């Protein structure tokens, strides 16, 4: 049974990563692209009971996105790991409905990941934090909520 579960996780991760790399620009709305891998990590953190799957998936997808994006290795890996771990730890604490928690969680964690990405990669370029929040992070959070509900 464990081999079947491991195989399913690897295939789903591979499919989502390939979809994000190939078709990501076709999902663009108003210049905002959803983070499919991030949404998958957060949705997995809501439904999976074994933390090793959540941690492995977050680190693997983050590292692969770091390697493929070329924007500085470690940003996606750290962000995916921290967001998935936090989501797993708080999933039974606030709401009885996991769908409602997923909506709130994806919104907050998308803002967190945008802040981390801005902090590590963009702040020294001169783009302001509030500009990034208004024009990138908030629209992307809304888009990620829709994608996460589909994954959930």
pLDDT digits (tens, 9 = 90+) for 28-67: 787 788 888 888 888 888 888 888 888 888 988 888 888 8
Cα–Cα distances (Å) from 122 to 81, 101, 132, 136, 150, in that order, read 21, 30, 9, 12, 30
Q: Give the pLDDT band (50/70/90) at residue 95.
A: low
Tell me, what's the pLDDT at 13?
84
Cα–Cα distances (Å) from 103 to 46, 83, 113, in that order, read 11, 14, 15
**What is the C-alpha separation between 77 and 61, in angstroms, rounded?**
7
Tell me, what's the pLDDT at 29?
80
Tell me, what's the pLDDT at 96?
65
Asked if pLDDT for residue 9 goes beyond 70, the answer is yes
Question: In the structure encoding, which two tokens stand for residue 37, read together?
Answer: 């891998």
Tell me, what's the pLDDT at 132?
78
Q: Give the pLDDT band (50/70/90) at residue 71.
A: low
**What is the C-alpha separation between 24 and 116, in angstroms, rounded?**
21
Q: Give the pLDDT band (50/70/90) at residue 122.
A: low
């Amino acid at each position: 049974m464990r081999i079947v579960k491991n195989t399913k996780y690897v295939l789903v991760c591979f499919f989502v990563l390939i979809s994000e790399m190939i078709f990501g620009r076709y999902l663009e709305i108003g210049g905002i692209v959803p983070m499919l891998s991030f949404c998958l990590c957060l949705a997995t953190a809501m439904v999976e009971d074994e933390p090793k799957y959540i941690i492995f998936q977050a680190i693997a997808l983050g590292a692969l996105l770091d390697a493929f994006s070329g924007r500085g290795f470690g940003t996606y890996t750290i962000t995916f790991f921290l967001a998935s771990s936090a989501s797993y730890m708080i999933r039974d604490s606030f709401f009885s409905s996991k769908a409602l928690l997923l909506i709130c969680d994806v919104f907050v964690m998308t803002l967190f990941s945008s802040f981390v990405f801005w902090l590590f990669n963009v702040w020294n370029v001169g783009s302001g934090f509030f500009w990034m929040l208004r024009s990138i992070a908030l629209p992307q959070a809304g888009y990620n909520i829709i994608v996460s509900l589909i994954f959930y």
